[in-house]
Structure 1
Amino acid sequence: MPSTRVLLIVAAFASSAVLFAAQPADTSHSVLGYKNFAHQQQLDEQFMAVPSPSLARQELKTLTAVPHVAGTPEDYQTALYVAKKFREDGLETQIVPYMAWLNTPREIKVQAYGKSGKLLMTGPTPEHVKGDPYENDPRILPAFNGSSPSGDVTADVVYANYGRLQDFNKLRDMGISVKGKIVIVRYGANFRGVKAYIAQQRGAAGVIIYSDPYDDGYFRGDPYPHGPYRPETGVQRGSIEYLFKYSGDELTPGIASKPGLPAKDRLKPADAPALPKIPTTPLSWHDAAPILKALAGPSVPHAWQGALPFAYHIGGQGHVKVHMLLKMDYKYTKLWDVIGKIPGTEYPNDWVVAGNHRDAWTFGAVDPNSGTAAVLEAAHGFGVLLKNGWKPKRTIYICSWDGEEEGLIGSTEWAEDHATQLAHAVAYFNTDVGVSGKDFNASAVPSLKNFIRSITREVPSPKGGTVYQQWKKSQDDAEARARMTNNGFNNTTYTATHQPVRIGDLGSGSDYTPFIQHLGVPSTDVSSDGPYGVYHSAFDDYAWFVMNADPTFVYEQEMARVFGLEVLHMADASVLPYDYVTYGKELQEYLTAAEAKAKKNGITGLDFAAAIADAKQFTTAAQAVLERQQSESGNLSTFNAQLRQVEEDFLNPAGLPGRPWFKHTVYAPGVYTGYAAVVIPGVNEALDAKNAAQAKAQLADLVTAIQHGTATLQAAAK
């Protein structure tokens, strides 16, 4: 239970909800999509007065009362809860089932032996800290990696740093083979599935992924329960599905995995490209330390040293053997998406889709239910507007996805199920890890980056001013610290820049993936970030959240407002507020950087000059379109359809080499990054592989996409 003082603070902030909403927004900027923004601003102010810190607190506590792994009865109860809340707010609501090929652990055992046969460790050790009120819930599953096969392996151990491609290549260059070995790698730097994928490619027998305190433990600050970082026994669970191949149910790529789908339409597990082939399991640093400490052989490169109190070695010379026993139960499991709808009045087929997943590896206070609470508060705001007579121009779908943790399953299956209709969807707005701290952050396609900047100029920040102003200050401060670190601390004064806030590109790892990268729906992802060391552990619970992330729930309120205004503006704008000028400029930057990479890698015969000229022509056409967007002239229905078509023009029906499910020529998760975006991926990954023929073919596909987009813009400008 929180202290009396904390409860008083919460009550004070809850009573100030309307005060925050009443602060004047920054309207000095023009708002694309509106000739006269005054009416929309009044609607926005009504909406922003609704999201409540106290209600968000209640919702988060309810959602995180018990562990709710996808497909469990507890998960279904959260679906019923969200559906009830949606219906109370006037949304037409359905619970939509899909099926997924999922594993749960029956037995997991890891034992390490020294060269003499002495037992060094046996695990995994149960997660424990002093005083956490949730950690002993018997419904917490043992820590495991989703999509790992079963295995019974005993082998020498090799340490491979973060398990990046360059790390495995470094081992190769050192003359160290991982074939037939168990590879131990630390979390961070890339997606955990990529670690397993490269190890599988190199012939490893199994993988252990551990959390090094250098990355999210005591090296960063106080561990929980004294601070936000990962404690000694904390374990990061997570899927290792090869999401860079495709997301969703692993046995039905490109097909909605509905209940009753015939077996002939499903792949056999052995034939599924996204299913890993070697056993993989996570460990805490408490359990990994005895293994790492006993490794002998060459010392690691300096950058490979973690924060455990001994020198790290590569191993692989028989000094440590690990017996890894994983027994997994696989079966088709029912999942439950909750879909709330608000019908549009003028453009009912032009959908605005917004979502957040609901399932969690344990309690999921930050990931994902801090996002769910914000979504519920946004839906509550929509409900109040509906009661006051508001009806959106475009149809709104508010979605609570299931099975995201196992491979973005609920969102992918729904998107594949509605692929035809989503060709008309004007946006997908995502939040996932909604609130882990006080620092707002966002990623988006270029056409929606200024859209997010505009939204955040209107939303008040609990820190004072607007979200945009605090976001900008945070970035400027970080740049100033970086300059001082690089130049040495001195008396130089650094001032804020006049550049707009930087917004990231969309990679993968959350539910926007099927919308933008498979179907070409313009997408964004928003969050409020902070130190979050208990990611995917038993300690991602309500107690950690109120201690570390958002004790007064005012950042939940902020996220509800940002998320909700994204939906409101896209649903009601007269002209779709896409900014293709920014898109064109970023295309030029991507191509210029790729040209430099080609030269560095000694690849010739690629006509980047012509491609850059095409990107400039795209930008010129976009500038003409922007002028028409600002004047709102002509047939707006046709004009909006043309604006929407441009993002779809960037799709290549053949998809990317070796992974045809990913069809976007400008953005995709990297094969060897998994989470992080690779821009113009077909070109850049071919250049990285020094495959000149493939780079040439992929550049041609990209140029074709840019030319199609340019033609659409030119038609729209008339």
Structure 2
Amino acid sequence: GYTVDNVFPAGPMRNPDGVQRGSVMDFASNSPGDPLTPGVGATADAKRLSVKEAKSIASIPVLPISYGDAQPLLAALKGPMAPEEWRGTLAIPYHIGPGPAKVHLKLAFNWDIKPVYDVIAKIPGSEAPDEWVIRGNHHDAWVNGAEDPVSGQAPLLEEARAFGMLLKQGWKPRRTIIYAAWDGEEPMLLGSTEWVEAHADELRQHAAVYINTDGNDRGTLNMGGSHTLEQFINSVAKDIADPETKMSVWERKRLSDIAAASADDRKEIRQRADLRISALGSGTDFTGFLDHLGIATLDMAYEGETEQGIYHSIYDDFFWYTHFSDNDFVYGRALSQTVGTAVMRLADAEVLPFDFVDFADTVQKYTRDLQKVLKDKQDEIRERNQELDEGVFKATFDPRKPTVAPPREEMPPHLNFAPMENAGEALVRSAERYRKALSAKQGALSETEASQLAALNTKLIESERTLTNDAGLPRRPWYKHLLYAPGVYSGYGVKTVPGVREGIEQKKYAEAEQEIVRVGKALQDEASLIDSAAQMLESK
């Protein structure tokens, strides 16, 4: 941290005593939530695995330590120098061992089963009570948790307070609104995952959208989520004022993206009607809703102007937050305004504001990305094999340093992306048809019978479910969404079209081709669903 800024308490960065806590459960390969009840709610009478049977519990003991405690251990290592990308910024030479230093690690674990406490509040809908808009943020913290999670939880409470005031004034939402404060997020998304698993059938039937927040700081609005909601959240962002610049948070985000983008990306940002929102992987409480059940999801935070040097440590406290982050809480207010506006518009819209034009564009972009991933892999292996033939590695290795030349690899085969390409084209046609039909009907929606609106909204709610598959991803049956998932080896980071992408990355090319077919079918089903929604509008 000291290479970035002053360390706490003089500055925002981690000091030598700061320990970053975190979960080491293997959630990406298995599932988040209670490791003893995978796939089912961890109720009092749930059937549980033994600790030895639980696949997601780490098989080796782990203890987080500070860099102050790590420095003498690292300094005592000898052996070859660590590769440059393995070295940190401590004032020591980095060796990889083995030894000669020896460390005795003594750990004690508590395997007791403890309750977690989710706090759930509901405002029943007046006209469509069976359609739910769910809003959540976790309330547990590793230690003090001023930034993570309270800077997100406080705006949630302010939204709930404001809705309570509106209720007292006679307002009633069209749809049911559910507010949730999740427990046990830090140990492994426990409260939200177990709630999702326990109520899976109800949620599949009723949940329209889930909106998540977590920590919040200063800066630009980061928008992530289902791309069927991309146009909607862009429209919300255009109506929220940025506390520092007074321009809309959408405009500030647009200009910030231009400043950070490549020449090609700058051109797109300037020409595209909506800013692209990021795809979601995992790492917070939207995971069960999106990745497991296929509920359309948004995740938002203001960020970019705060150095996160105290993440998951005891120094994440009120002093740090009010000196080095959103010290006057104006971005907390902005988050409450942003998400509260989104919740209200979703709850009160006659037709859920799903739009498929941006979604279709994103799907086509993902297909092009995957084709590039395959081509890059082919080019990489072709070049490496040529260098092996030419003796490049033998000529450039330092004989005083033990090294092994990379093995020769077979060239990745051609993959047929036609199922995804054809489905992408069908999506474009269907999306344009739906947008046109909705626009033509916009002035007459209030005259539409309630049963017809309900049928249309049910169809829209199903649109995200259509992108899931009951069998789940290869070797990861809990993760059922075919477009979004955390990577097996990338932690929380998203892998878009994960079955295809990771098949290519892991050189499982036959599997990747099978996944292309499976994704293509899901996208064709999505196009058919969108067409049927458009037909409902056209025929009324």
Secondary structure of the residue aligned to 2:419 is helix
Equivalent residue number for residue 348 of structure 1: 129
> 2:7 is matched with which residue: 213, 223, 228?
223
Equivalent residue number for residue 240 of structure 2: 459
Q: Which has the higher helix share?
A: 2
Equivalent residue number for residue 385 of structure 2: none
8 Å CA contact 2:419–2:521 kept in 1: the answer is no
Partners of 1:676 and 1:350 lie apart in 2 by: 30
Q: 1:495 Cα shift?
A: 13
Partners of 1:584 and 1:274 lie apart in 2 by: 35
Partners of 1:494 and 1:595 lie apart in 2 by: 22
Q: 1:577 Cα shift?
A: 0.9
Matched, 1:307 2:89: yes
Q: 1:596 Cα shift?
A: 2.7
Equivalent residue number for residue 374 of structure 1: 155
8 Å CA contact 2:487–2:493 kept in 1: the answer is yes
Equivalent residue number for residue 274 of structure 1: 56
Equivalent residue number for residue 99 of structure 1: none
Q: 1:606 Cα shift?
A: 2.8
Equivalent residue number for residue 214 of structure 2: 432
Give deviations 1:3-39, integer Å, cap 9, x for gaps: xxxxxxxxxxxxxxxxxxxxxxxxxxxxxxxxxxxxx
Secondary structure of the residue aligned to 1:543 is helix
Equivalent residue number for residue 509 of structure 1: 283
> 1:400 is matched with which residue: 181, 187, 196?
181
Give deviations 1:419-443, integer Å, cap 9, x for gaps: 112122110000011x222332121
Q: 1:501 Cα shift?
A: 3.3
Equivalent residue number for residue 292 of structure 1: 74
> 1:422 is matched with which residue: 203, 208, 214?
203
Partners of 2:65 and 2:275 lie apart in 1 by: 38
Equivalent residue number for residue 405 of structure 2: none
Give deviations 1:629-668, integer Å, cap 9, x for gaps: 3224663222111122111111110001111000000000
Partners of 2:420 and 2:412 lie apart in 1 by: 16
Give 1:75-474 correspondences, 5 Å limit. 217-244=1-28, 245-261=30-46, 265-316=47-98, 318-423=99-204, 424-433=206-215, 435-463=216-244, 464-474=246-256
> 1:694 is matched with which residue: 507, 511, 519?
511
* Percentage identity across paired residues of the two chains: 39
8 Å CA contact 2:118–2:181 kept in 1: the answer is yes
Q: 1:304 Cα shift?
A: 2.3
Give deviations 1:457-485, integer Å, cap 9, x for gaps: 11122111221122223223334xx78xx
8 Å CA contact 1:437–1:531 kept in 2: the answer is no
Equivalent residue number for residue 617 of structure 1: 426
Partners of 1:449 and 1:319 lie apart in 2 by: 55
Equivalent residue number for residue 300 of structure 2: 526
8 Å CA contact 1:349–1:421 kept in 2: the answer is no
8 Å CA contact 2:419–2:517 kept in 1: the answer is no
Equivalent residue number for residue 571 of structure 1: 347
Partners of 2:314 and 2:80 lie apart in 1 by: 35
Partners of 2:242 and 2:414 lie apart in 1 by: 51
Secondary structure of the residue aligned to 2:113 is strand
8 Å CA contact 2:21–2:313 kept in 1: the answer is yes
> 2:479 is matched with which residue: 662, 668, 677?
662
Give 1:601-680 correspondences, 5 Å limit. 601=378, 602-604=411-413, 606-630=415-439, 631-632=441-442, 635-680=452-497
Equivalent residue number for residue 684 of structure 1: 501
8 Å CA contact 2:224–2:300 kept in 1: the answer is yes
Give deviations 1:255-286, integer Å, cap 9, x for gaps: 1111233xxx2111111111111111111110
Q: 1:597 Cα shift?
A: 2.4
Give deviations 1:301-321, integer Å, cap 9, x for gaps: 2222211112212222x3222
Give deviations 1:331-384, integer Å, cap 9, x for gaps: 110111000100001111110000000000101100001111000111111112
Partners of 1:613 and 1:496 lie apart in 2 by: 26
Equivalent residue number for residue 325 of structure 2: 549
Partners of 1:580 and 1:325 lie apart in 2 by: 55
Partners of 2:494 and 2:195 lie apart in 1 by: 23
- Deviation beyond 4 Å, 4+ runs, structure 1: 493-496
Letter in 1 for 2:60: I
TM-score relative to the length of structure 2: 0.87
Partners of 2:267 and 2:490 lie apart in 1 by: 34
Equivalent residue number for residue 370 of structure 2: 594
8 Å CA contact 2:290–2:481 kept in 1: the answer is yes
Partners of 1:311 and 1:270 lie apart in 2 by: 39
Q: Which has the higher strand share?
A: 1
Partners of 1:511 and 1:629 lie apart in 2 by: 32
Identify the range of structure 1 (252-261 vs 540-549) with the bigger mean alpha-carbon deviation.
Answer: 252-261
> 2:357 is matched with which residue: 581, 604, 623?
581
Letter in 1 for 2:72: P
Partners of 1:404 and 1:667 lie apart in 2 by: 20
Secondary structure of the residue aligned to 2:109 is strand
Partners of 1:341 and 1:451 lie apart in 2 by: 23
Partners of 1:498 and 1:705 lie apart in 2 by: 30
8 Å CA contact 1:436–1:532 kept in 2: the answer is no
Letter in 2 for 1:442: M
Q: 1:555 Cα shift?
A: 1.1
TM-score relative to the length of structure 1: 0.66
Secondary structure of the residue aligned to 1:321 is coil
Q: Which runs of 5+ in 2 are unaligned?
A: 379-410, 536-540
Q: 1:494 Cα shift?
A: 12
8 Å CA contact 1:352–1:570 kept in 2: the answer is yes
8 Å CA contact 2:468–2:481 kept in 1: the answer is yes
Partners of 2:514 and 2:267 lie apart in 1 by: 46
Partners of 2:267 and 2:413 lie apart in 1 by: 42
Letter in 2 for 1:519: L
Matched residues, number: 486
Letter in 1 for 2:284: S
Secondary structure of the residue aligned to 2:504 is helix
Partners of 1:308 and 1:449 lie apart in 2 by: 43
> 1:711 is matched with which residue: 503, 528, 537?
528
When residues 553 and 345 of structure 1 are mapped into structure 2, their CA distance, relative to the original with a 3 A threshold, is same
Partners of 2:259 and 2:19 lie apart in 1 by: 33
Partners of 2:136 and 2:269 lie apart in 1 by: 34
Partners of 1:673 and 1:391 lie apart in 2 by: 43
Identify the range of structure 1 (684-693 vs 630-639) with the bigger mean alpha-carbon deviation.
Answer: 630-639
